[in-house]
Amino acid sequence: MSANAQNLSFVLEGIHQVKFEDRPIPELKSPHDVLVNVKFTGICGSDVHYWEHGSIGQFVVKEPMVLGHESSGVISKVGSAVTTLKVGDHVAMEPGTPCRRCEPCKAGKYNLCENMAFAATPPYDGTLARYYVLPEDFCYKLPGNITLQEGAVMEPLGVAVHIVKQANVSPGQSVVVFGAGPVGLLCCTVAKAFGASKIIAVDIQKPRLEFARKYAATATFEPAKAPALENASQIIKDNELGSGADVVIDASGAEPSIHTGIHLVRPGGTYVQGGMGRSEITFPIMAACTKELNVKGSFRYGSGDYKLAVDLVASGKVNVKELITGVVQFEDAEQAFKEVKAGKGIKTLIAGV
């Protein structure tokens, strides 16, 4: 690594093969673009998956690709048409730029864009570099009471906001969240901010449940090695959920959780799939049918989600600081991947260069 590198970037070349590379400082592609000096980047399961396997589903890393997509930074250059940001502003970076022209984009569901350019999803480079270019409306100015470290957590918080919105969580409802990793924990706290009264976190790891309880869950459950129906009725009994939970969110992607979750929703209730695991599983379709469940997917984030994420933290309704359990220097970026892989801490950030 050279000290006078212009745009030092953390590049994935192949499975477990990473290197630091000095790349040219990216040019603004439109007068509405800004250049961001990246300051902090969180690492999540998808980054680790690319590092370990070189692909996720149909997305295969064919050319060396810069990793990272959960970032915050400081505006270092603005295009001639930029009106909302100035050099020096602190921003949370929404890392996917939709085409704005396809049917889903025009329908207001830009997360489903057919031509999305998303950071660290091949062939698009990620944000683990000194500089990254984004349109101004995909940078969210951080108010003075949100640090740049917290700003990097707006990405998973945006994911959680989208999931909880998909679930239509409303005041007084009971919400069960499967998976107490960063996104599951953030779903618990967003559900609380939306007024849910019972928030039950489910995970197979005790330390994660302890964290969830201190953080935002009102109760926790560690599933027994038992049939899904039995775990579901135990959760209902323990938490006096009557005919079942109003809302179940899966943030684990694990087949047993999905089974238990479907059995756990009350008739007419809502189930949202947020976690990504195996692409095909067996599914309790009869229960979904006879209970007339609203079964929905949730993918990344869309209109208003990042803005709400920033507002929730600015207003003190959501705390993301507690989730940041480690910060490593840019030179030690690979260490962050190893820590996430080992399940160490909740959210590890990589400092910028």
Instruction: Using the rule CB under 5 A, give the single segment among 90-98, 124-132, 236-244, 301-309 that binds Zn ion.
Output: 90-98
CB of 244 to Zn ion, least distance (A): 30
Instruction: Using the rule CB under 5 A, give the single segment among 100-108, 163-171, 178-186, 331-339 that binds Zn ion.
Output: 100-108
Report the C-alpha gap between 255 and 238 in whole angstroms. 22
CB of 95 to Zn ion, least distance (A): 9
Q: Which of residues 105-134 bind Zn ion (CB under 5 A)?
A: 105, 113
CB of 219 to Zn ion, least distance (A): 27
Q: Which lies closer to Zn ion via its Cβ, residue 44 or residue 309?
A: 44
- Count of residues touching Zn ion (by CB under 5 A): 6
Neighbours of 38 (CB within 10 A): 28
Q: Which of residues 43-82 bind Zn ion (CB under 5 A)?
A: 44
Residue 103 is encoded by which pair of tokens? 């049917």
Q: Which lies closer to Zn ion via its Cβ, residue 102 or residue 204?
A: 102
Instruction: Using the rule CB under 5 A, give the single segment among 94-102, 175-183, 290-298, 335-343 that binds Zn ion.
Output: 94-102
CB of 175 to Zn ion, least distance (A): 22
Q: What is the spatial order of strands in the sheet that 8-14 belongs to? A: 17-22, 8-14, 65-66
CB of 46 to Zn ion, least distance (A): 5
Exposed, middle or buried by CB within 10 Å (0-12, 13-18, 19+), for 133?
middle
CB of 106 to Zn ion, least distance (A): 8
**Which of 28, 48, 102, 288 lies at the binding interface for Zn ion (CB under 5 A)?**
102
Instruction: Using the rule CB under 5 A, give the single segment among 104-112, 121-129, 177-185, 211-219 that binds Zn ion.
Output: 104-112
Q: Which lies closer to Zn ion via its Cβ, residue 98 or residue 274?
A: 98
Alpha carbon of residue 326 to chain centroid? 17
Q: Which lies closer to Zn ion via its Cβ, residue 113 or residue 272?
A: 113
Tallying the residues shown for the chain, one arrives at 353
Q: Determine contact, residues 5/14, Cβ cutoff 8 Å.
A: no
CB of 228 to Zn ion, least distance (A): 28
Q: Which lies closer to Zn ion via its Cβ, residue 99 or residue 229?
A: 99
Q: Which lies closer to Zn ion via its Cβ, residue 221 or residue 337?
A: 337
Q: Which lies closer to Zn ion via its Cβ, residue 219 or residue 327?
A: 327
CB of 104 to Zn ion, least distance (A): 6
CB of 63 to Zn ion, least distance (A): 21
Q: Which of residues 154-183 bind Zn ion (CB under 5 A)?
A: none
Report the C-alpha gap between 249 and 199 in whole angstroms. 11
Is residue 98 at the binding interface for Zn ion, with CB under 5 A as the rule?
A: yes
Report the C-alpha gap between 79 and 63 in whole angstroms. 29
Q: Which lies closer to Zn ion via its Cβ, residue 113 or residue 351?
A: 113
Q: Which lies closer to Zn ion via its Cβ, residue 25 or residue 102?
A: 102
Binding positions for Zn ion, rule: CB under 5 A = 44, 98-99, 102, 105, 113
